[in-house]
Structure 1
Amino acid sequence: MSILLFILGVLVMVVAVGVSIGLHEVGHLIPAKRFGVRVPQYMIGFGKTLWSFKRGDTEYGFKAIPLGGYISMIGMYPPAKNKGVVGATDAPILRKSSTGMFQQMADEARHAAAEQLQPGDENRLFYKLPVYKRIIIMLGGPVMNLLIGIVMVGIVTVGFGMPTQTSTVDEVYQCVVPLGQETTRDASVNNGCLPSDAPGPAYAAGLRPGDTITSFDGKPVGNTDWVPLTQAIRGHAGESVPLTFERDGVEHSTSITPYKTERPLINDQGQVVTDASGKRETVEVGFIGMGSKVENISQPISSVLPAVGTQLKGVTAVVLDLPARVAAVGKAAFSDAPRDPNGPISVVGVGRIAGEISAMDQIGVADKVASMFSLIGGLNIALFVFNLIPLLPLDGGHVVGALFESVRRFVAKLFKRPDPGPVDIAKMLPLTYVVAVGMMVMGAVLIYADIVKPVSIFG
């Protein structure tokens, strides 16, 4: 049964990846058609066409290699200018010889593009559109992924709820274990306590698992106020403070004296603060020795965009350092070095995680569904950021080319020079191929690593 559930999780993610790619291309297709560009093909996958149909000017279909998708637009490459000839036009030039391999690559690309032209296409060429329309077309795909990510994050945060620390006590420590010794203690022997340890203030005050703290130092504590409560406890080291809690529907009063000890430094969001080397920063604060019960609590819709922003920030940090991170993954895959659980993974890794979630008996159905939505959202946010990298053949490279053209034309107009015309991205094909090969190599490394040394979110 577990194997079937694992396969089901993988299949769900395969479909989700396919739909995400398809909608990405729809993000390009809709504005392209809206602006009058002829789109001969809309395809999911690469290689040999498996199935297709034609509607209007466009052939829609699936290809054999499901590693992406594309739409083809007429006029992506502007024709070379027949410079030096009186009365020359911008008609494509088909050279019998070339000044070099790179020039020949550009000429061949223009020639292939020219062969797609049909009568009536003169005003349906991509490069003839105003710059802002070209940018809208190229940003349409990434924006579609971002919208999918926002919807998925919204479904999880508002519909299913986010894991949230509550004011309900989950565990109570009978003693205060010095920082750094937690993992060396045997909890089965005297609850991990030594005679030299200070007694746990929470245990001494009568708190037990299942109790819900309702006030601290005379101030009410709400169900989701665990972080403010922790900060208040830390600020009252050595002071006797009144505390109330509810047990089995009955409210009880007690007093508690937080023990001053070294603990990890936490920020206002309850996250542990680390230094530049990744080591936890510590500070002497009040500590009472108890843990919070984590529950899925529905968040307001206003929390969706900040949650998306947090994911965007994390993904951007990975993408900005992608070559180094992929190299680290490759090193881990071919050695005994540990793999960074926060490093990049391939779609194979995402599928494997989805399978693990689906097969786990300890996770309820609702949590499994929420995890799938979360994975799909994270995948689309990653696609959004990745496609904005300002290098061809990615969408960000086309946007940068259009912006450069706009700036170049503005400067020419400012200094009353002739219009330089559209940017010839065909000249960038050598760099485009280098980037494409680099992307394929990094993808192969990640896929191999996800097979031989996969990242597991469950440790």
Structure 2
Amino acid sequence: MEALAFVIGVVLMVVGLAVSIALHELGHLWPAKKFGVRVGQYMIGFGPTLWSRRIGETEYGVKAIPLGGYISMAGMYPPSPKQVSAAASGHRSGKAGGGFFATMVQDARAANDETLLSEDDDRVFYRLPVWKRVVIMLGGPVMNLLFAIVLFAILLSGIGIQTATTTVSSVSECVIPSESARTECEPTDPQAPAAAAGMQPGDVIVAVDDEPISTFAEAAALIQASPEQAISITVERDGETLTLPLTPVAVEQPVLDARGQPVVGEDGEPQTERVGLAGIRQEVDYLREPVWVAPQMAFERVGAVAGIIWQMPVKVWEAGSTLITGEERDPNGPLSIVGAGRLSGEVAAADAPVLNRVAGFLELLAAVNIALFVFNLIPLLPLDGGHIAVALWEGIKRVWAKVFHRPPPKPVDATKLVPVTFIVVVALIAMGAVLILTDIVNPVSLFG
């Protein structure tokens, strides 16, 4: 059953990613059609087409590899002068001299020219005002951000955050030695301090040693800090306030770091500490947050992801180096879709209530959409941020010409940036391959 749950979690992540991509491309499609641009295709995925249907002038379809998507807009770049120049020079219009990158530029221009009906075609992207082009290209990332906010709203305001309350859910009858594997009490086991003090399930802890507490964590910290010391526990029971004397028993427990992992000493052995134990368990409840907390959390995550994205080459290098060194990976570092799928599988297969697993999946999918939002705003082609940067540069040139009473500049020919685009694509593929390999060989795990 655990293996089946893991597979279901991976499948859910693939479906969630496909939905995220579909929404991203819709964010481009809707304003493009609103502004009159001809859109030839709306495709989810890459590779062979599994299904498609033409509605009006646009073909909508799904492809075999759900790792991306695209819409094809007419005139993403200004038309090239290849027809005129080729005729004047006697060269064939399909080739370009000057080497590999020059050929790439020519091929990009040729592919773009095929989307133009004529030189007077007005339903093209490059003829739009700058602000409309920015809106179209921003539409995709913004849809991912909005989807993340919706997911966080479902998580925080619909399901709620699992929180340990100050209500006692159960009281242990005895103290079982930590080295013992049994769970049942034996006659020789000492009575648990909470049971000896008369605590009962349903008691609400309001103070420890006369210090008011608002969370169970505060109560636990005060109890743990008082091994074999007489303290008082103030509880509310059936409308009454009772003060119970309690002496926590001293036990040894591992020292944990901020990530919940055991701290190892210089001798290689796990470090332990002496703490107090009362023998009570807290009641867990789901506390719902106001709806405005969802966008707040989304923007906090945007800042965190942006801090990783601008260091992406370094972070990928660090992750890839663990393949050689065998060191533990940074759990806050970048992941590939393989890594996200593994985490989703772990969440689905976890030994936890179904609601907890649903909440974990929603948080993971929201994080993926935050990453898509930030990543696509990087101002490099072929990413959306690159197209936005080109549009803004053209807008700056137009304002400059207007201020200094110069002729309007020609549209910026982004096909000249194809060599840069090629380098960016190769870098993205290389970093993606390193992350995928690392996520297979040395994956990040939610549970250590």
Check whether TM > 0.5: yes
- 1:370-409 equivalences under 5 Å are 370-409=359-398
Q: Following the alignment from structure 1 to structure 2, what is the Cα–Cα distance between the partners of residues 207 and 305?
A: 45
Of 411, 425, 428, the match for 2:414: 425
Q: State TM-score, norm by structure 2.
A: 0.77
Q: 1:68 to 1:408 in 2, by over 3 A?
A: same
User: For the Cα contact (< 8 Å) 2:9–2:341, is it kept in 1?
Assistant: yes
Q: Following the alignment from structure 1 to structure 2, what is the Cα–Cα distance between the partners of residues 207 and 133?
A: 71
User: Secondary structure at the residue paired with 2:292?
Assistant: helix
In the alignment, which residue of structure 2 is the partner of 1:351?
A: 341
Q: 1:76 to 1:165 in 2, by over 3 A?
A: same
In the alignment, which residue of structure 2 is the partner of 1:109?
A: 108
Q: 1:415 to 1:447 in 2, by over 3 A?
A: same
Cα deviations by residue, 1:67-124 (Å, 9 ceiling, x for unpaired): 2110011101113469x99xx9xxxx94865355434422321122112222597110
Q: In the alignment, does 2:443 pair up with 1:444?
A: no
In the alignment, which residue of structure 2 is the partner of 1:163?
A: 162
- 1:340 CA displacement: 1.1
Q: Name whichever of 432-441 and 368-377 sits farther off.
A: 368-377
How many positions carry a matched residue from both structures? 394
Q: 1:3 to 1:188 in 2, by over 3 A?
A: closer
User: For the Cα contact (< 8 Å) 1:78–1:127, is it kept in 2?
Assistant: yes
Q: Following the alignment from structure 1 to structure 2, what is the Cα–Cα distance between the partners of residues 289 and 248?
A: 25
Cα deviations by residue, 1:101-151 (Å, 9 ceiling, x for unpaired): 434422321122112222597110100000110011001111111111001
Q: In the alignment, does 2:302 pair up with 1:303?
A: no
Q: In the alignment, does 2:30 pair up with 1:40?
A: no
User: For the Cα contact (< 8 Å) 1:49–1:64, is it kept in 2?
Assistant: yes
Q: 1:457 to 1:249 in 2, by over 3 A?
A: farther
5+ residue gaps in structure 1?
A: 173-185, 190-201, 234-239, 257-270, 274-286
Q: Following the alignment from structure 1 to structure 2, what is the Cα–Cα distance between the partners of residues 221 and 302?
A: 27
Q: In the alignment, does 2:245 pair up with 1:246?
A: no
In the alignment, which residue of structure 1 is the partner of 2:3?
A: 3
- 1:103-182 equivalences under 5 Å are 103-118=102-117, 122-168=121-167
User: Secondary structure at the residue paired with 2:39?
Assistant: coil
- 1:351 CA displacement: 1.2
Q: Following the alignment from structure 1 to structure 2, what is the Cα–Cα distance between the partners of residues 77 and 352?
A: 39
- 1:409 CA displacement: 1.2
User: For the Cα contact (< 8 Å) 2:31–2:136, is it kept in 1?
Assistant: yes
Cα deviations by residue, 1:197-243 (Å, 9 ceiling, x for unpaired): xxxxx98x969796533257989755xx568889999xxxxxx9997
User: For the Cα contact (< 8 Å) 2:80–2:113, is it kept in 1?
Assistant: no
Give the aligned residue type for 2:160: G
User: For the Cα contact (< 8 Å) 1:38–1:121, is it kept in 2?
Assistant: no
Q: Following the alignment from structure 1 to structure 2, what is the Cα–Cα distance between the partners of residues 49 and 440?
A: 22
User: For the Cα contact (< 8 Å) 2:40–2:59, is it kept in 1?
Assistant: yes
Q: Following the alignment from structure 2 to structure 1, what is the Cα–Cα distance between the partners of residues 237 and 442?
A: 46
User: For the Cα contact (< 8 Å) 1:77–1:113, is it kept in 2?
Assistant: yes
Give the aligned residue type for 2:333: G
- 1:219-238 equivalences under 5 Å are 222=214, 225=215
In the alignment, which residue of structure 2 is the partner of 1:266?
A: none
Give the aligned residue type for 2:314: A
User: Secondary structure at the residue paired with 2:242?
Assistant: strand
Q: Following the alignment from structure 1 to structure 2, what is the Cα–Cα distance between the partners of residues 350 and 79?
A: 41
Give the aligned residue type for 1:13: M
Give the aligned residue type for 2:18: G
In the alignment, which residue of structure 2 is the partner of 1:193?
A: none
Q: Following the alignment from structure 1 to structure 2, what is the Cα–Cα distance between the partners of residues 151 and 446?
A: 28
5+ residue gaps in structure 2?
A: 172-176, 181-192, 224-229, 247-256, 260-274
Give the aligned residue type for 1:213: I
User: Secondary structure at the residue paired with 1:40?
Assistant: strand
What value does the CA root-mean-square deviation take over the aligned residues?
A: 3.8
Q: Following the alignment from structure 1 to structure 2, what is the Cα–Cα distance between the partners of residues 121 and 15?
A: 42
User: For the Cα contact (< 8 Å) 2:96–2:106, is it kept in 1?
Assistant: no
Cα deviations by residue, 1:416-450 (Å, 9 ceiling, x for unpaired): 22222222111111111111111111111111111
User: Secondary structure at the residue paired with 2:38?
Assistant: coil
Q: In the alignment, does 2:8 pair up with 1:24?
A: no
- 1:295 CA displacement: 3.9
Q: In the alignment, does 2:204 pair up with 1:212?
A: yes
User: Secondary structure at the residue paired with 1:301?
Assistant: coil
- 1:40 CA displacement: 0.6
Q: Following the alignment from structure 1 to structure 2, what is the Cα–Cα distance between the partners of residues 151 and 94?
A: 50
Give the aligned residue type for 2:49: T
Quote the sequence identity (%).
47
Of 299, 303, 312, the match for 1:322: 312
User: Secondary structure at the residue paired with 1:338?
Assistant: coil
Give the aligned residue type for 2:10: V
Q: 1:338 to 1:232 in 2, by over 3 A?
A: closer
Q: Following the alignment from structure 1 to structure 2, what is the Cα–Cα distance between the partners of residues 58 and 121?
A: 21
Q: 1:68 to 1:60 in 2, by over 3 A?
A: same
Q: Following the alignment from structure 1 to structure 2, what is the Cα–Cα distance between the partners of residues 310 and 430?
A: 35
- 1:372 CA displacement: 1.6
Q: Following the alignment from structure 2 to structure 1, what is the Cα–Cα distance between the partners of residues 170 and 139?
A: 49
Give the aligned residue type for 1:42: Y
- 1:245-264 equivalences under 5 Å are 245-246=235-236, 250-253=240-243
Q: 1:44 to 1:289 in 2, by over 3 A?
A: same
Q: Name whichever of 378-387 and 40-49 sits farther off.
A: 40-49
Cα deviations by residue, 1:306-344 (Å, 9 ceiling, x for unpaired): 221222222111112111111111111233121111111
Q: Following the alignment from structure 1 to structure 2, what is the Cα–Cα distance between the partners of residues 353 and 296?
A: 23
User: For the Cα contact (< 8 Å) 2:94–2:110, is it kept in 1?
Assistant: no
Q: Following the alignment from structure 2 to structure 1, what is the Cα–Cα distance between the partners of residues 80 and 148?
A: 40
Cα deviations by residue, 1:353-396 (Å, 9 ceiling, x for unpaired): 11122222x21111111212111111111111111111111111
